[in-house]
Amino acid sequence: MNYDREILFILNEAGPKGLSIRKITMHVFNKCNGLFDVISLEDVHRYVASYLIKNSKAADSVIERTGVRGVYRLNLENTSNQLQFDFKDDVIGEKNCVKAEDDMSLSLF
């Protein structure tokens, strides 16, 4: 089960307003349900609800409650425990980069 990753992805896409447990459950159900891997909506709802409640209890957790009952979002205030990669196309050094005008193709003759 890869529900944890899907829950975090959906909450990231939701933004600072967050989403309700029902909507998160539907997103996870639609993403993980397949033709040969049939899952129950009740099982997904039970797992999503317990995961959100369990992971929102601590103050330094990644998931937090909003002011509305049953709505959760990512805790972006606490960045000390989170690791986020930022991939950029910056040129670090000229030595490591292959120039566009250099022809690196092999000769057939």
pLDDT in tens, 14-56: 988 999 999 999 999 999 888 888 889 999 999 999 999 998 8
> Which residues are CB-neighbours of 67 under 8 A, at least 6 positions away?
none
> At 71, phi and psi to the nearest 5?
-115, 130
Pair 64, 72: CB distance under 8 Å: yes
DSSP 8-64: HHHHHHH-TT-EEHHHHHHHHHHHH--SSS---HHHHHHHHHHHHHHHTSSTT-SEE
Query: Where do we find the tokens 């309700």?
Result: 20
Interval 46-100: pLDDT, tens: 999 999 999 888 878 889 998 899 999 998 876 555 555 555 665 555 555 455 5
